[in-house]
Chain A
Amino acid sequence: MTPFTQLTAPACPLVRSNVDTDQLIPARFMKEPRRVGYGQFLLYDLRHDDTGKPIGDFILNQPGADQSQIMVTRRNFGAGSSREAAVYALVDFGFRCVIAPSFGDIFSSNAVNNGLLPALVSEADADRLLNALETEPTHITVDLATQQIHFADQIIPFDINAVWKTKLLNGWDDIDLTEGYRSAIDSFLLTYQTRYPWTQGQPEGALGLIARDNR
């Protein structure tokens, strides 16, 4: 995964609360393989009218929006469904950072697992940023090491879980990291299986029967 250190890019204001993952990518697009590029599906029903025509004044349809790498929005962004496709849509569109006062928990984990920084700011700072972006399209700088956002001549701080910060800064992937814990897992399992033997697999035949019925 590409490490996230510092990013200077045009920021895109999405002045809405509760932008859930069903809005980020409507379910009907989720049958598609990732290779088709999920950016085209991002906020599809907000970007298009009922006939599928792009809505001109929607923020992502405006000139230059495709250069944007930072989204600024309101509370409870990414709530709802655990669909990682919502993050794929943002990342494939070109976003590397979303700034908001709160995020859905599962969305945040998914974001970090795809190198997308979910930067938490206060409601007041989100307002300041959104106000600044309303008047002119602005380049802003997000610095992960110092947890600061620079725009115009202002600096606002953001929060990020310490573990996620380390992962993003280094571009680490959990599966690679966990490989290093193989012996810890094995020794845990020895004790665990002795203590809670019924948790390992199923009563004889239960799952096997299912497997046979379907094969």
Chain B
Amino acid sequence: MSRQTLFDKIWQSHEICQNDEGQSLLWVDRHLAHEGSFHAFNKLAERGLTVRHPELTLGIADHYVPTLSRSLTDVNEKTRNVIEQLISNTRAHGVPLIGMNDPRQGIVHVVGPELGLTQPGLVMVCGDSHTSTHGALGALAFGIGASEVAHVLATQTLWQNKPKQLRIRINGSLSPAVSAKDIALAWISRLGADGARGYAIEYAGSAIDDLSVEARLTLCNLSIEGGARCGMIAPDEKTIEYLRDRPMAPKGEDFEFASTWWRTLATDADASFDREVELDASDIAPQVTWGTSPEEAMPITGRVPNPDDEHSPDKARQHRDSLEYMGLKPDQLLTDIVINRIFIGSCTNARIEDLRAAAAVLKGRKSKVPGLISAGSTQVKAQAEAEGLDQIFIDAGLEWRESGCSMCVGMNGDQLKSGERCASSTNRNFKGRQGLGSRTHLMSPAMVAAAAVAGHLADVRPLLQEVSQS
């Protein structure tokens, strides 16, 4: 059993068998289903199949839910229809559902850890690429498509090719105001948006050990933006304490029994990886994206790249295309980029620590631009209100909304207008992601708050120094 990685240990414990071509049939412990699951449920219906283990799937409405209220009259008919299909599909198959009005509602990848549904050593899937988030607690978690969702519903298993393994070590300590989001954008800009394609990532090193569980969730969430199948962090005492007493975590003796196993999951000292990458935490500055791929990120102190300086013709073409879409000029200072809106939300950066970090910057200040703040879950929203964070945001001139995927993906109608530029705590700066013609700059919640205060992209560090001096 020696010389195994965290990934190997979970894979092996879930491998039912292999087929002749070497593909593995894996047992799936937990499946999360959002509104987009209707294609998969339709596939079951076409074949007259039932859900094999309804108790191991949990339905949650997040992608299409309105954030102005919790009323289905606040969305158009087609949107309402998609939400209602999740309700009827889960009901028909006896699958538990956290509905829109449930106090435990939220974005699936925020709710899973929050309820203790996400646990070390589990195989978890969801028809959403940001399922990699759950790896932060030491689960093997990855996004799948609708055909695979149908397969999981019908069999509670999944055929998978074993990916290669990449360890990303972040050594040393992060500087103040540098966050997990900055680590992620730093490694993705270095390796590329397909740099980790075909790999399962394990994040390790002293800077990772030092991260809170919530920060780890942000880091693992963004693994897919570098093309990785999943991202994981070995469970430690922080993980175990995080899970203790959560409603869906094991209880009493079961918890002690489970945590004994969880402690054995860490990668063995002599285990090897297909590839290793190391970054020094002290080299990482607050990052922003300037283009239309998460790989087009750089420190806020930099300038927009000049495609003429790019050696690869394909890269130069890509950069020109990104600059044109984003309405930016080569060599302009990033801090000269004027914004129209801000958004703080999404499965990436809308947990309580994210909201606290943004509130620390916004306290006693005004936002120069309008913006939305949508908590990652209804519980996070309640917690933020108990701490008075909502009032800080409202006093700054921002809108405090209900929880959902909201303007990260714009499916519920929370969108930018064409040409609008947004400082966003989300995960994708793709063309049109936040609405047709939208321009997205990705950054940490604290950096979004700094941009709000400045009215342009800005370094949060001087603002935080002012706070600590006053």
Contacts and interface: CB of A to CB of B under 8 A. Distances in A.
B147 A198 contact: no
B351 interface: no
A21 B25 CA distance: 27
Contact of A175 (B47, B87, B161, B193): B47
A47 to B, nearest CB: 12
A215 B25 contact: no
Given A30-B36, A207-B248, A214-B102, A196 B121 contact: yes
B248 A76 contact: no
Interface residues of A, number: 67
B242 interface: no
B21 A214 contact: no
Given A30-B36, A31-B82, A83-B36, A214 B159 contact: no
B151 A106 contact: no
A103 B154 CA distance: 27
A106 B145 contact: yes
B411 A178 contact: no
Contacts of B148: 109-110, 113, 174
A210 B98 contact: yes
A161 B160 CA distance: 11
Contacts of B418: 50
A215 B39 CA distance: 23
Interface string B321-354: 1000000000000000000000000000000000
B16 interface: yes
A125 interface: no
Interface stretch (A4-12, A55-63, A141-149, A185-193): A185-193
B411 A27 contact: yes
B109 to A, nearest CB: 13
A75 B145 contact: no
B145 A84 contact: yes
B150 to A, nearest CB: 7
Interface stretch (B165-173, B209-217, B249-257, B365-373): B249-257
A83 B143 CA distance: 10
A184 interface: yes
In this complex, the interface size class of chain B, counting residues with CB under 8 Å from chain A, is 35 or more
Contacts of B250: 198, 203
A22 B227 contact: no
Interface string B56-80: 1010000010000000000000110
A74 B432 contact: no
Contacts of B317: 17
A128 interface: no
Given A206-B247, A214-B102, A181 B129 contact: no
Contacts of B258: 196, 198
B146 A202 contact: no
B102 A213 contact: yes
B193 A79 contact: yes
A50 B436 contact: yes
Task: Tell me which of A30, A76, A79, A82 has the highest count of chain B C-beta atoms within 10 A of its own C-beta.
Answer: A82
Contact of B16 (A50, A85, A181, A214): A181
B128 interface: yes
A152 interface: no
B97 A211 contact: yes
A175 B150 contact: yes
Given A178-B151, A181-B17, 7 more contacts: A26-B432, A113-B147, A178-B155, A185-B157, A188-B17, A196-B13, A206-B248
5 contacts: A175-B155, A184-B16, A198-B250, A198-B257, A210-B98
